[in-house]
């Protein structure tokens, strides 16, 4: 037995060092792999097209959902099975170099189809007319840059960007620090309640806060919480979301997003604060630092990376804010933002060219932030 094993090892080594083995192709595996991938891709494509164009043939949405899950998961498994067969059939050196890229390729193809291709098409259509049938050059950009509604939306977006991310980070840090001071049970309860709004959609949150901002005529019972408080204190009810003075209505809409996102900031920042080494805090206390000094000079510098991550994430979210404005005011009373203006241009005004031009402006504004966030993540990993 020992002899057989020892003889097998040199033979395996000879095969590994055999240059012909590195060049040998298995045409059967390669052919089956390619054929299998083509058939699976064709079947999945036709299946999902059938779901979209002929849903009545499947009886109900539940059946479509079950078939989509089975087909999607099973189809992905079969696709990777044939992909692996194709890679194994290649010459060994080529196979070993290609295999990492092969298994990333389907994901990249999906990203290209669903994200990169539509992005280039959007840029392309921004140079076309209202129904994208003819090119008109930079006319759409000249139109939107000459439109006061566009600049009002830009101004509102800037105001959102200046206020919302900063307040979310500030409140997230404060809530995280205060919650950590509670008992274990109290901390869990407090954090759960503060994080709970994250489970609510933007539309649902807007409906909830619409009840808080609701207005009834003077003399009537005020169902809106804010007006009920104002009337209870002897004041007059206000149409809060119709007040454009000092951008008050925009600020009241920001409150909704802040309420939704503070829990997100709290969770990340609390985790970062708990990760600060206790030794550094104890050393600062021994040196006579107050709790406030410890927070600003010991804790904050060590959670700087998380603070930046939360800030940039909320910053990008604010640039794309749409649901809250659409559900509450639809941009009326000077409260419009870029994303809502795009929606109304595309669907209400049927101006596809101007709508896509607005999206391209938004895309250009977001790219530097995404680049900064990626660079920050890489710097953190390198550090």
Q: What is the pLDDT of residue 14?
A: 43
Q: What is the pLDDT of residue 103?
A: 81
Q: What percent of the chain has pLDDT over 70?
A: 93
Q: 35-59 pLDDT, tens per residue? A: 999 999 899 889 988 888 888 888 8
> For 132-137, what is the mean pLDDT?
92
> For 246-274, what is the mean pLDDT?
93
Q: 98-114 pLDDT, tens per residue? A: 888 888 888 888 888 88
The answer to whether the CB of 25 falls within 8 A of the CB of 90 is: yes
Which token pair is 157? Answer: 């977006």
Q: What is the pLDDT of residue 4?
A: 47
pLDDT band per the 50, 70, 90 thresholds, residue 10: very low
Question: Among positive and negative, which fits the CA dihedral 46, 49, 55, 61?
Answer: positive
CA distance 310 to 360: 25
Asked whether residue 12 carries a pLDDT value surpassing 70, the answer given is: no
Q: 313-346 pLDDT, tens per residue? A: 999 899 889 999 999 999 999 999 999 999 999 9
Q: 168-199 pLDDT, tens per residue? A: 999 999 999 888 888 888 889 999 999 999 99
Which token pair is 99? Answer: 């295999």
- CATH architecture of the region 147-201+260-382: Orthogonal Bundle (1.10)
> For 208-237, what is the mean pLDDT?
91
All CATH 1.10.3720.10 domain ranges of the chain, comma separated, are 147-201+260-382
Residues 6+ apart with CB under 8 A from 132: 125, 352, 353
Which token pair is 57? Answer: 């043939």
């Amino acid at each position: 037995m020992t002899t057989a094993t020892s003889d097998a090892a040199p033979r395996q080594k000879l095969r590994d060092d055999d240059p012909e083995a590195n060049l040998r192709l298995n045409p059967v595996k390669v052919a089956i792999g390619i054929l299998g991938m083509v058939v699976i891709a064709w079947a999945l494509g036709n299946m999902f097209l059938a779901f979209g164009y002929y849903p009545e043939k499947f009886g109900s949405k539940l059946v479509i959902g079950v078939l989509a899950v089975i087909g999607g998961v099973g189809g992905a498994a079969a696709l990777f099975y044939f992909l692996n067969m194709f890679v194994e059939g290649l010459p060994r050196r080529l196979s070993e170099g290609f295999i990492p890229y092969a298994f990333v390729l389907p994901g990249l193809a999906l990203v290209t189809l669903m994200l990169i291709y539509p992005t280039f098409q959007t840029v392309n259509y921004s140079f076309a007319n209202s129904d994208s049938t003819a090119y008109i050059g930079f006319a759409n950009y000249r139109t939107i840059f000459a439109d006061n509604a566009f600049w009002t939306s830009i101004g509102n977006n800037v105001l959102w960007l200046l206020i919302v991310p900063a307040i979310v980070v500030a409140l997230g840090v404060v809530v995280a620090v205060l919650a950590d001071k509670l008992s274990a049970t109290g901390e869990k309860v407090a954090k759960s309640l503060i994080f709970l709004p994250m489970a609510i959609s933007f539309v649902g949150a807007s409906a909830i806060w619409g009840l808080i901002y609701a207005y009834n005529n003077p003399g009537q019972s005020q169902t809106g919480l804010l007006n009920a408080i104002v009337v209870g204190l002897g004041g007059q009810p206000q149409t809060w979301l119709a007040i454009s003075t000092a951008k008050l209505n925009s600020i009241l809409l920001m409150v909704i997003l802040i309420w939704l996102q503070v829990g997100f900031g709290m969770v990340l920042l609390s985790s970062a604060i708990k990760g600060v080494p206790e030794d550094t805090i104890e050393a600062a206390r021994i040196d006579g630092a107050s709790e406030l000094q410890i927070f600003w000079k010991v804790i904050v510098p060590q959670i700087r990376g998380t603070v930046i991550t939360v800030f940039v994430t909320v910053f990008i979210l604010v640039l794309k804010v749409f649901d809250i404005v659409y559900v509450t005011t639809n941009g009326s009373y000077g409260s419009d933002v870029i994303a809502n203006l795009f929606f109304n241009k595309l669907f209400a005004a049927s101006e596809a060219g101007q709508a896509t031009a607005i999206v391209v402006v938004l895309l250009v504004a977001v790219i530097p932030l995404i680049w900064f966030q990626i660079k920050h993540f890489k710097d953190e990993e390198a550090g």
